[in-house]
Amino acid sequence: MTAVVVSLNASLPTCSARTQNDILVVFRPPQGVRIDVGDVLDFDLFALDRVQDVENTTKRERIAIEVRSHDIHDLRLPSAHGTSRFPSDERRKSA
């Protein structure tokens, strides 16, 4: 599933990438690897809580990234205190 990097936070450090169907993936960029806003990353949204081999198709390189299950959000679900925005299997498949 491809997602476009939409924001970088160097102080935490974190990156956020958004799929075409509005799933947000937040992750820590690996040290020594440059990721830029606009880069297209190819994730496996079923390989959570472990390191996965992600392709940066913009730069044509592979990088090791861990996507934690609490850092994947379905932006089409309402946000409220105490609720989960974890995307369903169907939404993750269609991303």
**Is residue 21 over pLDDT 90?**
yes
The per-residue pLDDT for range 47-72, each reduced to its tens digit, is: 999 999 999 999 999 999 999 999 99
Q: How many Cβ atoms from other residues are within 10 Å of residue 45's Cβ?
A: 20
Rounded to whole angstroms, how far apart are CA atoms 54 and 46?
13
- What tokens were used for 50? 């472990």
- Among 72, 49, 59, smallest CA distance to 1 is for 72
Instruction: Pick 51 or 77 by higher pLDDT.
Output: 51
The model's pTM is: 0.89
